[in-house]
Amino acid sequence: MDTAATMTTDKRHQFGELLQHHRKIVFKVVNTYCRHPDDRAELAQEIAAQLWRAYPGYDAQRSFSTWMYRIALNVAISHVRSESHRQRHTVPLDEHLHDIADDTGADHEADERVRALHRFIGQLEPLNRALLLLYLEDHSHREIADILGISETNVATKISRLKQRIRNDIAN
């Protein structure tokens, strides 16, 4: 085996390990942007392919998860915006809420508030949906800014506005 083939094999192995270790990022993004199982599988494949294509440019000095989120969200946003998928994609969050409520023992009122939040998220434009997903996962403003390619100030402003919209929309 020559050196180029060895490097390719090593790179594939390293990429596979990183992808496996951070696979939940892909699942979170896919489940946030697609309702139908076939669409989720298709989007997951698109994300994985784009991650592989972009991997040679990955800077190991930076956080892999931040790099991965950025690519996954960009692919998902492009996927949602594509004309052929526009009518089929919505947030799937209502599908499993009953199971979640059963698992946590949440009462009916709390369950309804969660449903209202998920409906709200499903109506957001893709960038704000991504922002809220990252915020709800407790990412810092700096991490969100890095992932989405916007300034920390813009992140803080958008989060503040989203919180106010949630208060107004869900409370009413």
Q: What is the pLDDT of residue 171?
A: 65
User: Domain total for the chain?
Assistant: 1
Burial of 51 (0-12, 13-18, 19+ CB in 10 A): buried
Round to whole Å and give the CA distance between 100 and 103: 5
- Residue 36 structural domain: 1-92
In a domain, 159, yes or no: no
Is residue 81 assigned to a domain?
A: yes
Contacts of 153 (CB under 8 A, 6+ apart): none
pLDDT tens column, 76-113: 988 877 744 445 444 444 444 344 444 445 467 777 87
pLDDT at 6: 52
Answer whether residue 2 is part of any domain: yes
